[in-house]
Structure 1
Amino acid sequence: MAKVLAVLSNGHVNEEHNYVTGWWAEELFAPVLELEKEGHIVGLASPKGGKPVVDPLSLSKEYDPDGKYKELYERGIADKTTPIVDVKASDYDAIFIVGGHGAMFDLAHDEDLQAVINIVYETGGIVSAVCHGPAPLIYTKLKNGKGILDGLKVTGYPNKMEPKEVDGLLPFSLEDEMRKIADYSDGSDEKEYVVWGSEQILTGRDPQSSPLFGRELAKKLTSLEEKEEEKFFD
């Protein structure tokens, strides 16, 4: 079984505009369920640790009509996270960054997170992110000075899907920034859309793509484990 680190935003509040955001429920729980089906273990981290703020919209009837993710949230599964600075990155085979607009605020430029991403990547692990989760990957540089996403095929939440309510409230456009450094696609013809930019980089477009994102990550980790076992017994 592989160990995976899921990274969540601690949340962001703009009192002037009555705007509260954080991590998106489906984008944590759907991949976690897929990873656990394959027997992988998921640990949780956030910049400050503790209980991170979930985007309340992600638990609403509109976005969670069956209450599936609300029920998981209320079980307290995401109530305890390790501060990123305390994470031992070498313990993990993969990292996945959970989306939600919160990632644009406190994860995008978090240097401790960038350090963890680098260690996971440099030790051969998988670096992945879904929806707005690629925000910190945009600014993560490898030891050679190259951006971790430079020139790769990627996806993430597209401009055309951003709700009007967040106009002027986000610190940058995810799509615009990704297009500057990578080969961005929104997979507009696909109901669910994920992209392997390399053997180690996986990105997913939106909440609806979260289950597929989780399956892809889980399958890759299982495949890597099987290859390691084959080497061991050869």
Structure 2
Amino acid sequence: MAKVLAVLSSGYADEKNNYVTGWWAEELFAPALELEKEGHIVGLASIDGGKPIVDPVSLSKDYDPTGIYKKQYDSGMADKTTPIVDVKASEYDAIMIVGGHGAMFDLAHNEDLHAVINIVYETGGIVSAVCHGPAPLVYTKTKEGHGLLDGLKVTGYPNDSEPKEVMDLLPFSLEDELKKVADYHEEKDQDAYVVWGSKQILTGRDPQSSQLFGRELAQKLSQRELQTEENFQD
């Protein structure tokens, strides 16, 4: 049984442009379900703690036609998060950065989050992110001063999928920033796409990749636990 820290955006509002965003429902709930199926425990954190703002679009009929994610959200599953500054990173076997445009605003440059990511990474844990979730990974430096993603194969939300009405409101292009430091892949011909940049770095492309992303992370954690048990028995 591994412990996974899911990190959510606390949310962002641009009143002038009537724009509200935050974390994306499917990108939390779909991976969390896959992790729980494997017996792993998922803890929640956000920048501010408490109840973070979900992107309302992610709960709409267009993106949640069966209402499964809205039901999970309404149940209060994501109502309580730990402030990232209070997280004991050494207790976790993996960190999972949940996407949604909010990640680009409050997660990307947050130094407390970068520190948590580094601790998980340096203690041998898995660092994973889906959709816009890789935003903070772009700016995370290792203790040696190298970029966490430098030269690695990665994916994330592509430019050509961004809604035109939102593009000018975003602080940067995730695809462009990833391409500056890593080997970015989109794989348009695949309905869902995730990639292991190393044995410790996992990224997923978009909401449609969330379930596969969660399954990959869950299975890798289970494999690690099995190997640890076998080594201990030896």
TM (norm. structure 1) is 1.00
SS, match of residue 129 in structure 2:
strand
User: Residue 189 of structure 1: CA displacement?
Assistant: 1.0
Q: Which residue of 1 aligns with 2:158?
A: 158
Equivalents in 1 of 2:63, 2:201: separation in Å? 27
Q: Which residue of 2 aligns with 1:149?
A: 149
Provide Cα deviations, 1:159-184, integer angstroms capped at 9, x if missing partner.
Answer: 00000110210000000000001000
SS, match of residue 140 in structure 1:
coil
Equivalents in 2 of 1:104, 1:165: separation in Å? 16
The 5 Å alignment of 1:71-82 reads 71-82=71-82
Amino acid at match of 2:24: W
User: Residue 90 of structure 1: CA displacement?
Assistant: 0.2
SS, match of residue 197 in structure 1:
strand
Provide Cα deviations, 1:20-67, integer angstroms capped at 9, x if missing partner.
Answer: 000000000000000000000000000000000000000000000000
The 5 Å alignment of 1:78-157 reads 78-157=78-157
SS, match of residue 147 in structure 2:
coil
Q: Which residue of 2 aligns with 1:174?
A: 174
Q: Which residue of 1 aligns with 2:226?
A: 226
Structure 1 unaligned segments of length 5 or more: list them: none
Equivalents in 1 of 2:15, 2:114: separation in Å? 29
- Tell me if 1:186 matches 2:186: yes
SS, match of residue 179 in structure 1:
helix
Amino acid at match of 1:152: L
Amino acid at match of 2:62: E
Amino acid at match of 2:182: A
User: Residue 111 of structure 1: CA displacement?
Assistant: 0.3
Equivalents in 2 of 1:10, 1:114: separation in Å? 16
Structure 1 segments (4+ residues) deviating >6 Å: none
Equivalents in 2 of 1:117, 1:167: separation in Å? 27
Equivalents in 2 of 1:33, 1:16: separation in Å? 37
Equivalents in 2 of 1:39, 1:187: separation in Å? 31
Amino acid at match of 2:128: S
Q: Which residue of 2 aligns with 1:215?
A: 215
Q: Which residue of 1 aligns with 2:56?
A: 56
Equivalents in 2 of 1:125, 1:115: separation in Å? 14
Amino acid at match of 1:141: K
Identity %: 77
The 5 Å alignment of 1:31-50 reads 31-50=31-50
Provide Cα deviations, 1:89-115, integer angstroms capped at 9, x if missing partner.
Answer: 000000000000000000000000000
RMSD of aligned C-alpha atoms?
0.3
SS, match of residue 105 in structure 1:
helix
Structure 2 unaligned segments of length 5 or more: list them: none
TM (norm. structure 2) is 1.00
